[in-house]
Structure 1
Amino acid sequence: MPLTGSCMCGAITYSAEADEYISALCHCTDCQKWTGGAFTSNAVVPRSSFQVRGNPATYDAVGASGKINKHFFCPTCGSSLYTELEVMADMVCIKAGTLDNGKASLDGKVDVEFYVKDRVQYLGGCEGAKQEPRFG
């Protein structure tokens, strides 16, 4: 079953023909700024499986790796939709809150947490998730 989702206003929709995905939280300070929250929750899928309908706006940020993190968002409602990272050129990081059908829950599991060195103090690690101080 494909993953589907959209921005808040529905102007941009997407789908990923991926039966499986990597569920990841990122606690880096860039993701905190990107979401206005403590972390991003992501469904990481192969870029070849991902299709977008509509015209998202983009913002490029240089990550801790020195590589570009391209953020895609709706220019109308401002919803953060997905990120393409130069360090993972073959993958797309879909922002879980934009997924349809209750998938924001990431099916109740988190595979990995990145940048736990930047995790806010009031949060603990997710049980069973690999804990990475940085990316990779």
Structure 2
Amino acid sequence: MTITGSCLCGSIQYSADVDQYTSALCHCTDCQKWTGGAFTSNALVPRSSFKVTKGTPSTYDVTGNSGKINKHFFCSGCGSSLYTELEIMPDSTVIKAGGLDNGAAKLGGKIDLELYVKDRVPYLAAAEGAKQQEAM
């Protein structure tokens, strides 16, 4: 299947050809700051399957708890968070689910994995059936 997405203004578009993907929530404080929300919802796809099909995203690098770089990609026009490439996960691209097209932000109705649950805000419960991971 091909999943597609874009930023809010449409200047940046992307796609990934995948058989399946891992759906994940990340509760780390960097994701909270980056999105202005309590967590990020994500589709983890093989980096080799991901491509930007329109525009050129801007980037911002953050050093993660691992000491490795987390490269955040975003639209400089509208500010939409698009995807992340983590040095600690060199074979994956972490697509921010809110930018996925055709209602795909719902991630198929299930979450496979929750990361940094130690930083999860107390008013949110664990996603039913998701593997819970304290950190990365």
TM-score, scaled to structure 1: 0.98
The match for 2:6 is 6
| Cα distance in 1 between the residues matched to 2:109 and 2:64 | 28
The match for 2:47 is 47
SS in 2 for 1:32: helix
Amino acid at match of 1:60: D
The match for 2:15 is 15
SS in 2 for 1:106: helix
Q: Residue 43 of structure 1: CA displacement? A: 0.1
The match for 1:112 is 113
Q: Residue 31 of structure 1: CA displacement? A: 0.3
Q: Residue 41 of structure 1: CA displacement? A: 0.4
Amino acid at match of 1:27: H
Q: What does 1:26-105 align with in structure 2 at a 5 Å threshold?
A: 26-52=26-52, 53-105=54-106
Q: How many residues align?
A: 135
- 5+ residue gaps, structure 2, are none
SS in 1 for 2:45: strand
TM-score, scaled to structure 2: 0.98
- 5+ residue gaps, structure 1, are none
Q: State yes or no: 1:124 paired with 2:125.
A: yes
Q: Deviations over 1:9-48 (max 9, x none)?
A: 0000000001200000000000000110000000000010
Over the matched positions of the two proteins, sequence identity in percent amounts to 71
